[in-house]
Chains A and B, each alone.
Chain A
């Protein structure tokens, strides 16, 4: 793994680039992390996936969104378009790093919504994997609200920032999340794999919306550790090997 910073210096993003091992498939993959507590929990699984993709010959870039992890900024400055722009910057960085024939995006949880919203507006993302997706800002907000400091109210006063664990979230950010619904009726996504490590019924709404938009998609149900889930034992649960192996195969087979 090669660590790097990219993007504007004042708003630089931390990236972890895994170059291909063995035969270079000239395939780029960006991995979009989940947000909030799920980011910390799923970090190792995303790293595992990146390594397996690199072993299969892909150029892989994981990155921290602005205001998260090792990237610049604080959550108080973040807006939703910032994170969407970060996904675009990551695609552009990967295209600069390697002479690619195709690019795929893998998004976990809310990372799937960000990846899908960007894939909808660009024509250089050829494949999309939505791993246990949260496809609405409201869903993401629900996850973030689980971060509320115990004893604090979820009610927000206009003009005041919203305090979650150790960070303030700007009102504009929360408001933009509330209104964020990717995959509208006219969405134009590349072939999409929905990977579920939960039950068959967990993502019926997502599948329905994708089908209504006429997107070429498939659903893979591979029950395994939900690495992002707070109820899982983060130390001993491991990664969903079967699901991640299938993601690698689906992406590289197409390439």
Chain B
């Protein structure tokens, strides 16, 4: 089940944006992100299709495959086929948040019709030593830490570091409702996926928020992890400091939407 939104003057040479379910939220997206985005993009001349993966929202659960990754690949491929046949568009930008970002990247690799990917708050292995440093620094510079310092109760390093250990991370993933959605994409696998997509001239926009701070907490973290890829002209990455995982605050959402609009208009101009 999906909803097709098209501009008044549909240009079949421009790619259509296909929005993939975020977690178990149906096609409208978290806090209606996909519905709002579809309408804004239609105003910019981009058609879009927001749809429910099988077993989510109003789409039936698949019975022909048992492996989740295979099912998602077939779902995305079916969505692109449908839009191609109905609307004559044969180039696509896949867009997804959280598990949707994961699914967008993996689906793009196997489908040459995909010419762009917008991956928002992708859950991948991103923590590096700088992440730990930022984390520790932030805790040391926080008000409670100074209060403790001024009152002689100096925090011990192990207590500062403990929040970066794997157990609290799992707890935070669970608290965010991420447990059981998708495992974090290993760093090496992500590098391979991005490289393959860039090699075939796919444009990539990666947006990270502060919502998954346990994994991503500063703006240069992507280029620290992937210095060569980050310099590629077809790859753009943004960090929305202070934004939550589902872009709940209006200004954060507006910033993300603006970022996507600009990226689309520059990369896929008429």
Listed in ascending order, the chain A residues whose CB lies under 8 Å from chain B are 1, 3, 14, 16, 40, 43-44, 47, 64, 68-70, 74, 147, 149-150, 152, 163, 165-168, 233-236
Contacts and interface: CB of A to CB of B under 8 A. Distances in A.
B179 interface: yes
B249 A235 contact: no
B57 interface: yes
B152 interface: no
B32 A69 contact: yes
B248 A47 contact: no
Interface of B: 1, 3, 23-28, 30-33, 35-36, 56-58, 177, 179-181, 244, 246-250, 253
A236 B179 CA distance: 10
B35 A69 contact: yes
Closest 8 CB pairs of A and B: A166-B31, A165-B248, A149-B249, A69-B28, A165-B31, A166-B253, A235-B180, A43-B26
Given A166-B32, A236-B180, A1 B58 contact: yes
B24 A16 contact: no
5 contacts: A3-B58, A166-B250, A234-B177, A235-B179, A236-B180
B59 to A, nearest CB: 9
A40 B57 contact: no
A44 B24 CA distance: 9
Nearest to A67: B32
Contacts of A47: 57-58
Nearest to B50: A70
Given A68-B32, A70-B3, A74-B36, 20 more contacts: A1-B1, A16-B58, A43-B26, A44-B24, A44-B26, A68-B28, A69-B28, A70-B27, A70-B28, A147-B248, A165-B248, A166-B31, A166-B36, A166-B246, A166-B248, A166-B249, A233-B177, A234-B24, A235-B23, A235-B180
A120 B269 CA distance: 54
B31 A167 contact: yes
Contacts of B56: 44
Given A167-B32, A234-B177, A235-B181, A150 B244 contact: yes
Contacts of B31: 165-167
Contacts of B27: 70
Contacts of A43: 26, 57
The secondary-structure label for the interface of chain A is: loop
A167 B180 contact: no
Contacts of B30: 40
Nearest to A151: B249
A1 B3 CA distance: 14
Nearest to A75: B32
A61 to B, nearest CB: 13
Contacts of A68: 28, 32
Contacts of B250: 149, 163, 166-168
Contacts of A3: 1, 3, 58
B48 to A, nearest CB: 12
Contacts of B249: 149, 152, 163, 165-166
A236 B180 CA distance: 9
Contacts of A40: 25-26, 30
B178 to A, nearest CB: 9
A38 to B, nearest CB: 13
B35 to A, nearest CB: 6
A167 B31 CA distance: 8
A218 to B, nearest CB: 31
B169 to A, nearest CB: 18
A165 B31 CA distance: 7
Given A69-B35, A149-B249, A166-B253, A44 B57 contact: yes
B159 to A, nearest CB: 24
Contacts of A236: 180
A116 to B, nearest CB: 26
Contact of A149 (B3, B25, B32, B248): B248
A40 B250 CA distance: 19
Contacts of A44: 24, 26, 56-57
Contacts of A167: 31-32, 250
A165 B25 CA distance: 15
Contacts of A147: 248
A170 B1 CA distance: 31
